[in-house]
Amino acid sequence: MNFNQLKYLITVAKEKNITLAAKKLFISQSSLSQTIKNIENELKVKLFITDVSPIRLTYAGEYFVGWASKILKLKDDMCEKVQLINNNSEVKIVVGMATHRCIYILPQVIKQFKDEFPHSFIEVKEYPTPTLQKMLLNGELDLLVDIENPDTFSYKNILLKKEKILLDVPDNYKSIGTELYAFKNVPFVLLSKEQLLGKCARELCKRYKFDPKISVECKNIETAHSLVRQGLGVTFVPELFAKHNDGNFIEINSYDFSRNICAIFPNRKSTTYLNRFIEILKNSLDNL
């Protein structure tokens, strides 16, 4: 049994006449009749009632033709996918991601995607979260990797990873402990309050009923971490950053300081390529 034979049977079922079906298929009536007989013999079941006019399917025939239609649809989908893979020179994905995530996540993700779609073009936009969110809103990004977007009508959020936020402590303060309140008199190195991590850090300190004594304010996590290494204060860093850098990283007791990192994209932009990129992204984060 092959794809052509399945097509023949479906055509006979639609035409309800072997002669008309044979003409439509550009084969002889005898050849078509023999094909039907061969398949019926292979299945050991009658597919058509032929002693009536027009001919009609048996119950088994109805099931078989339904199955055959699905098989041919899967075959067409497979052929289309293969052609897409072969002709992917038009594939372009614009990805927005904060720099501290790009460094550790994107190289292996893009490598695997390019192995599958070698002629694709990936454009990476590395900016702070507020800038990336504006770019997403303005339609400048196909995909944003960040905390989930509350506008679920316009955007789809696919959870990639739940990320903990840790306290980054210099050697001269690491004996203080693991309770955030214990650091209330210690200088802090924080990102600006316009940035998500900077805003969250300030809110967390308020939960512990103190305002952080901000010694230095900067714009990126790498700078904040370098200042901490010089003993200038403590800061907050994402778990992923901590895994790839040296330092004293403390999980804060009594409070689950974490956030959901999602793949965010406009509902209308879902494509085979984008979905595959997100799948690779999620698998990569699962292994980090």
218-239 pLDDT, tens digit per residue, is 988 999 999 999 999 999 999 9
CA angle centred on 61, ends 1 and 66, rounded to 5°: 80
Mean pLDDT of the chain: 89
CA 246 to the chain's CA centroid:
30
Q: Are 142 and 95 in contact (CB under 8 A)?
A: yes
For domain 90-161+260-286, the CATH superfamily is Periplasmic binding protein-like II (3.40.190.10)
> Mind giving me the DSSP string for 121-188?
EEEEE---HHHHHHHHHTT--SEEEEEPPS-TTTEEEEEEEEEEEEEEE-GGGTTS-S-GGGGTTSEE
In sequence order, what are the beta bridge partners of 164?
Answer: 258
User: Model's pTM, two decimal places?
Assistant: 0.62
pLDDT confidence of residue 91: 82
Q: Are 203 and 229 in contact (CB under 8 A)?
A: no
Q: Give 37's contacts (C-beta < 8 A, 6+ positions apart).
A: none
Paired tokens of 76: 């067409």
89 pLDDT band (50/70/90 cuts)? Answer: low
User: Does domain 163-258 fall into CATH 3.40.190.10?
Assistant: yes
88 pLDDT band (50/70/90 cuts)? Answer: low
CA 144 to the chain's CA centroid:
10
Q: Do domains 3-86 and 163-258 have the same CATH topology?
A: no
Q: Are 132 and 181 in contact (CB under 8 A)?
A: no
- Taking the C-alpha atoms of residue 153 and residue 183, their distance in angstroms, rounded to an integer, is 41
- Taking the C-alpha atoms of residue 285 and residue 288, their distance in angstroms, rounded to an integer, is 5
- The helix/strand/coil state of 16 is coil
More confident residue, 28 or 100: 28
Q: What is the pLDDT of residues 27-57, one digit of tens each?
A: 899 999 999 999 999 999 999 998 888 989 9
Residue 64: phi, psi to the nearest 5? -65, -45
94 pLDDT band (50/70/90 cuts)? Answer: very high
User: Does domain 3-86 fall into CATH 3.90.1200.10?
Assistant: no
What is the residue extent of each domain of the chain?
3-86, 90-161+260-286, 163-258
pLDDT confidence of residue 90: 67
- The helix/strand/coil state of 1 is coil
Q: What is the pLDDT of residues 12-30, one digit of tens each?
A: 999 999 999 898 888 899 9
CA distances from 113 to 120, 127, 153, 255, 288 (A): 8, 22, 28, 38, 17
- Taking the C-alpha atoms of residue 221 and residue 209, their distance in angstroms, rounded to an integer, is 24
